[in-house]
Structure 1
Amino acid sequence: MQSYTTCKHPSIKKRGIISNPSAMLSAMHTRLFPKLKARYTVLIYMVGSDLETNYEMASGDIREMMEVGSSWGIHIVLETGGAKKWGLDFIPSDRKCRWLVQCGHLQLLQETGNANMDMAETLGDFITWGIQQYPAENYVLILWGHGLGPIDGFGGDELHGNHKMKLVTLQNALQRAYQVTQTTFRIIGFDACNMAGLEIVYALRHYAEYLVASVDYTNHNGWDYKTIIESLRQMPALTAPKLGEIIVNSYRLHSREHGELQDLQQGVIRLDKAERIVHALEAWSQVLLERIASEDSFDLMRHDRTRCEDYAEETDMVDLVDLSGHFGRSFGCMQETHTIQEAIEDAVIYHMKTPEHPKAKGISIYFPKQDQGRFIEKSMIYQHHDFSVSYKKLIDLYSLIMIKKDYNGIYHHMK
């Protein structure tokens, strides 16, 4: 087994040897870790993508992890891949690697070839291996990379076409791992943009207790891994909701330290509440399906959509509480709207936002607005989701009508 040790002088690195007693003790811990049941095992799936190749964002976060590292009771296990170049020169770009994060260095555990990190098999294998090799009372999965919501998904492996992992693929990866391990996570977190959509919440409901994610962009500094790991080490009895709060609050402070003062959002969502929200959404959508066929109703729906708080033009995500409120008032379904809003309030147990997002409540949903050239394509992808049947029909019909309107706004009736 190789080790990579960073010596006291930051420009000196030694490969393949252990250069001091603390590193030797760390190596002994590494050999013993898999035999001990820790309090927490944190699995970090890091799809470096162009975020690493061009900006070294992943390397920056790894340096934060190495400021603290694993301990007897906390396993920090990392998989790297998907970038053409890594800022940390001991991380190879031509193959995936699995590491145990230690204080001051990474311990290489396994090299696993050059499989596509945007594939279900790759993520599922990492999760299965990590759970089996590093048993713990509690597991956390952090997914690091690009986030483009429920349509275009997560990841972005540069070495395999940068296609991203669709939501169905992500769900398949978690299902594959669960079938082998019969283990779920306390938290699944996205250090990525736009991944707090209801579609994602619903897709992950069987595999974790909580989701930590943002409805909007995530700043270039990403999560504060030093604070997260320090908190786990100092408070080994930390509960998942409290850990979620620490992730959210430390991200806010970390962003401000890096000069990022706006567009800050993160939330902690109870996944066992997902079915209640989707059940309410189903009833709400059925009312709207009855209204959308007329030209006046469609135009009103389209107008209301422009008034809602939304995020990232390429994702066409909108705050669900705000959307449901506008449509509820316009189409006489306020009872169904209140049911949605109460369910979301119950599910989002912690939410941080800056003043530019006054209406945000922590859960978004896809509804077409900006990306007109892809409305039909996106609707076709959307129909494959495990989600509300009536809402999927609403998205499909709305997308078709949007395309059938010409540039002058003349309505063409559906045949």
Structure 2
Amino acid sequence: MATKAPTKRNWTIMVYLAGDNNLDSAGMVDIKEMKTVGTTDQIAVLVQLDRAGANMQTVRYCLKKGTSLAKDAVQSLGETNMGDPKVLEDFVTWGATTYPADHYLLVLWNHGAGWDDANLYEGDVFSGAAPPVSRKAEPVVTRGAAPGAKAIPLAQARAGIRRTRRALFSTTVQAAVKERGIAFDDQAQDFLDNIELKKVMTAIKKKLTRKIDILGMDACLMSMAEVFYQMRDVADYSVGSEETEPGDGWPYDRILKALAAKPAMTPEELSKTIVTQYLASYKATENVTQSAVKLARLKPLATAIDGLAKALKGTLADAASRTALINARAQVQEYSRPYDDYCDLIDLCDLLVKGVANPAVKTACAAVKDAAAAAIVATGYKGPAVDNSRGISIYFPKRKLSPLYKTLDFTKKRAWDEFLKAYLAGLGR
């Protein structure tokens, strides 16, 4: 007897929920949100969950409305390392094969730190941290916290890695930098870095013989030119935040409700919906950002940024232009204070156009803004601290250039890192 082919849906949502860290309780809140809609005839909602604590089973779920979470379990994988690219590859391959669909949304759920691939486990950042407390008033399950550890407000939890970054780098030279970006697993002391993420997404594309439609980053600081460029060939769209995300992250109930009402949404429509619903779920004062980009348009943007880098580098010998550039950097929209190495790209161009008299810089800024406008399909913010956010940030350190920056695709054939090196050297003098 022939095996019946799986039902093909409009969308399969795959959430890679790396909760083996101090965001464990936030993950359980988000799963409850997902279950308010759950899997339907048109939408499959899948989660791979690794909870905090030793000897915890990693479980795959097909979430449904009105059932217990235990009944939604499809597979138990034992203890896994969610920072291992192979684990992510296996999840996505399983999800797409078992629950085929016209479109796929893959969400990487965890801490995030943009492009900056430094190994935070060298500094013992998360170990012993109590779970965060949600503003949604959900009960918090304390798992894996050190006795007497002080609970972290959920609004700060995902941002915590950047606040502790200086403690990491002020230790000793032996705290050697390693690649790091997203999906932290405390038991394995591992994470996915941007280089690994590109490799695993490329492998997934080869296995599925197609790109993922939307790569979602439910994590901090991932809406960066460098990160998007790294993913330019492996997904059609990407959604993420320029600023640190509150621990509550994406409002999965709102997003899935909107998709269930219109399951025939195109990838661009769903990308825009995620941005709209994310912003709607937060108060006007909560300082949140979210944006969606069409990744095929990142190459023209990178080319325009390359032109800007060359124009800016050419002005550094001119005292007036150099002063105007320093002033622009001092005023530009920044993120993850006080470790403010990321700034909004379009806001930077606006300030440069106003302050730098050099015609080549003005022309280059106009080209960057045009290319960014073509790439960004939706963007928004809430809160006075992020009110100059326009959708894509870029690395622009004030003090020191990370040696890891040159390992990214973005810097291999582009001059932005060369401009930064010359600019920072000038400040040193």
Q: Report the TM-score when normalising by structure 1.
A: 0.79
1:250–1:321 distance in 2 versus 1, CA, 3 Å = same
Structure 1 residue 290: deviation in Å?
2.8
CA distance in 2, matches of 1:146, 1:94: 20
Give the drift of 1:220.
2.4
Aligned twin of 1:319: 344
Deviates more, 1:167-176 or 1:291-300: 291-300
State the SS of the aligned residue for 2:63. strand
1:45 match: secondary structure? strand
- CA drift at 1:249: 2.2
The match for 1:102 is 64
1:140 alignment partner, one of 105, 113, 116: 105
Shift in CA distance, 230/325, structure 1 to aligned 2, threshold 3 Å: closer
Matched, 1:71 2:94: no
The AA in structure 2 aligned to 1:360 is S
Matched, 1:354 2:360: no
Cα gap change, 1:157 to 1:401, in 2 (>3 Å): farther
Q: In the alignment, is the contact (CA less than 8 A) between 1:49 and 1:145 conserved in 2?
A: no
Equivalent pair of 2:58/2:78 in contact (CA under 8 Å): yes
Q: Number of paired residues?
A: 354
* Partners of 2:279 and 2:382 within 8 A in 1: no
Q: Which residue of 1 aligns with 2:249?
A: 222
Which stretches in structure 2 are left out of the alignment for 5+ residues? 118-180
Q: Quick one: distance in 2 between partners of 1:186 and 1:315?
A: 31
Distance 1:67 1:336, change over 3 A: same
Q: Is the 8 A contact 2:23 2:247 kept in 1?
A: no
TM-score (norm 2): 0.76
Q: Which residue of 2 aligns with 1:149?
A: 114
CA distance in 1, matches of 2:201, 2:75: 21
CA contact (8 A) 1:215 1:363 kept: yes
Residue 126 of structure 1 deviates from its aligned partner by: 1.7
The alpha carbon displacement at 1:235 in A equals: 1.4
Alignment RMSD, CA only? 2.4
Contact 1:202 1:275 in 2 (8 A): yes
* Alignment match, 1:383: 406
Identity %: 25
1:307 aligns with: 331
The aligned runs of 1:9-408 (5 Å cut-off) are 35-53=6-24, 56-81=25-50, 83-85=51-53, 94-103=56-65, 104-106=67-69, 107-152=72-117, 153-161=181-189, 163-256=190-283, 261-292=285-316, 300-313=324-337, 314=339, 316-328=341-353, 329-330=355-356, 331-332=358-359, 333-356=361-384, 357-369=386-398, 372=399, 375-376=400-401, 378=402, 380-388=403-411, 389-399=414-424, 405=428
* More off after superposition, 202-211 vs 273-282: 202-211
Cα deviation digits, residues 219-256 of structure 1 (max 9, x gap): 22221111222222221212222222322222223223
Q: Which has the higher contact order (CA 8 A, sep 6+)?
A: 2
Q: Measured at CA, do residues 295 and 47 of structure 1 come closer, stay the same or move farther in structure 2, by a change above 3 Å?
A: farther
Task: Measure the CA separation in 2 of the matches of 1:182 and 1:57.
Answer: 34
Larger radius of gyration: 1
Deviation at 1:196, TM superposition (A): 0.6
Q: Give CA-to-partner distance per residue, 1:175-198, whole Å, 9 cap, x none.
A: 111122112122111111111101
Note the alpha carbon deviations across 1:252-283, whole angstroms, 9 max, x for none. 23223xxx732121112111211111111111
1:248–1:290 Cα change, 3 Å: same
Between the aligned partners of 1:209 and 1:177, the Cα distance in structure 2 is: 14
Any gaps of 5 or more consecutive residues in structure 1? Answer: 1-30, 86-91, 406-410
Contact 2:380 2:390 in 1 (8 A): no
